Chains A and B, each alone.
Chain A
């Protein structure tokens, strides 16, 4: 039965659907924009079609990669999905998996974020694939991303190599009508064939494996089925051509048509940027004098081309950083084709900066930290709580889990000078703590750092769409798992000062902070941990148990704007007429916390039973 259906799918859903249709039996991931919806879609489509797939939110990308790798050793189709910086975390198993290879197909979905819109770098994972000698597909649209999943699996199985599928934000979060089919049932039984020379591969085997890897890559580069496709020109632009891949190709295509030049200049589309097809490299070298390459984000294709007339990001004919938006490509294309430039229109103005949601428990925690330690140093981390920057309570944000180690580093820097050291208050989310915070905490404790670590435990990975953590006890597919408690992990890391409280109760939270500061400065002090526990207000179930209040700003408001500028809850706005703060109806959720933030006690809270 092959029922075919046209559906609107987001790029990540199309990839998830493709994985299920291709008979993938295990899919792992760690959430991160723009990749998060891939695993969620695998769960949804596996349920819908009844396809048997083990799905998991692993604690980090390295773990996710290794779980998928072993499923593939056992002969089954496997996948792992992550955002581009997740591959930095998974790079250790990733690099070696090229040497040792796989058995069942392994598709590594790495979502890049040119721009970047939601990331700490705009690195190009295709460069990483070149570094690792792992082939990479570069889809232009959701529909194409879905088709490439099956191609990636067959390539992976043909050469026993992991294969990367590298969508970018504009593919991940595009929606398109996509053809869906019934999933393949491969019905393979797990069978791991022991082979120590390969799976244990001590150094003496590795030179040989490296040689073998080079041969595989060479063979793929000669495979005619990966020749770039071409929209042929009519000779109007002789010995000139355009090469593009990914979303840059989609933009080039739409722009050429808009300019009436589609079909007048040779335009190549590269689907497999690494290894770039050898015949293609030769054709470009021999048949063209000038070549313009559009790709995101680094010059991966450009660097593999031999011809002298190649221009692109390396030669700065295309800007060498940032997203290639239609406006940017339009300008470069017109110059390249000798067309008159488009009349300049003013670009979109900068928008409103994001802020924590009304009623967010992090706001209360940050406000209290900032107030208690006006001279503190505040390393923080990645998640919604990075927005603590708006409150002056986040001084650094580097990469997952770095805050605890950086906190320790700050302590050592100051304490080495002798005398008083500043209070270092680290903030880290619950999911980030599981991801990379645990080794950092063990290290801080053992190396004798004296810092306060506040774990902002809101019971979810809120920023990326509320995926559960191991402490919540709910797995990716909704089933129950054995819960792993943060407090237990903290104690087991050798921390002897541990407090837990609800940051909504700002008095108690402040009290714990002061107590913790005393502890880190005491003779046998070390790392103090406070777990600030309050569910994310986007969690509907938890909200059922929360008390909500009817909020009013009384006449006694002195118009100092502390609640608006420092506490920064969108639920409060300033009335320029009365020169007083007012509650914004329909925005305020009635959490009641601002009543403790107002220095003159002008905000009152009356309890009511129902949430809005």
Chain B
């Protein structure tokens, strides 16, 4: 199984955590995985991007036009990093304007659930339910339980479940 995933957003939106979850879930489903992430100055509210490569890759970087899917934590990040996607690859976008096939107002859903910081998990749940990333719901649920710091665990699980159960949008 080979899959290349791009995750883009702003520093502080939980891009790193999504990256870790996907990596853990990849290993738990019996795959090799290598990822790349942004650290340092850019994490102070600047644009950050993670690459996740599942399968027999050595390099942690995805070439332009090669990603099989993408998570975008803001509509602006989609504009910036869409070039990584291969043609027709699904782009899961957090945006108040839910007009694309995989566009979802994840921030609003997270806020409603009282899990404002779990916008990233709503997005993840939404994508996993639609079979976009490689892994199953149960493997991801377990990864979230394992990797969440205890004070955020409940909130993260809540966010993920809300994303799973979201009915809107085409699929």
Contacts and interface: CB of A to CB of B under 8 A. Distances in A.
Interface in A213-262: 247, 249-251, 253-255, 258
Contacts of A142: 34
A552 interface: no
B36 interface: yes
B20 interface: yes
Contacts of A140: 58
Contacts of A174: 34-37, 60
B106 interface: no
Interface string A354-378: 1111000000000000000000000
A8 interface: yes
Interface in A329-373: 330, 342, 345-357
Interface in A87-132: 117-118
A443 interface: no
B153 interface: no
A251 B80 CA distance: 23
B10 interface: yes
B39 A173 contact: yes
A544 B20 CA distance: 29
A326 B61 contact: yes
Contacts of A34: 39-40
Interface string B1-30: 000000000111000000110011011000
B162 interface: no
A431 interface: no
A247 B60 CA distance: 8
A267 B30 CA distance: 29
Interface in B20-77: 20, 23-24, 26-27, 32-47, 49, 57-66, 76-77
Contacts of B32: 176-177
B110 to A, nearest CB: 10
Contacts of A251: 59, 61
B42 A247 contact: no
A250 B45 CA distance: 30
Nearest to B52: A175
A6 interface: yes
Contact of A325 (B61, B65, B116): B61
Contacts of A177: 23, 26-27, 32-33
A33 B40 CA distance: 6
A8 B23 contact: yes
Contacts of B62: 326
A250 B60 contact: yes
Interface residues of A, number: 50
B63 A352 contact: no
Given A247-B59, A347-B64, A118 B84 contact: no
A354 B33 contact: no
Contacts of B79: 349
A6 B27 contact: yes
A350 B47 CA distance: 9
Contacts of A254: 57-59
B113 interface: no
Contacts of A250: 57-60
Given A8-B20, A174-B36, A387 B83 contact: no
Given A327-B64, A345-B64, A348-B83, A173 B36 contact: yes
Interface in B102-152: 111, 116
B146 to A, nearest CB: 11
A586 interface: yes
B47 A327 contact: no
20 contacts: A6-B27, A8-B33, A34-B40, A141-B58, A171-B60, A173-B36, A174-B60, A175-B19, A175-B20, A251-B59, A254-B57, A326-B59, A327-B63, A351-B42, A351-B47, A354-B42, A354-B45, A355-B44, A384-B41, A464-B40
Given A345-B65, A463-B40, 12 more contacts: A169-B39, A174-B35, A174-B60, A247-B59, A251-B61, A254-B58, A258-B66, A326-B63, A350-B80, A352-B46, A354-B42, A387-B44
Top 3 closest A-B pairs, CB basis? A351-B47, A118-B40, A354-B46
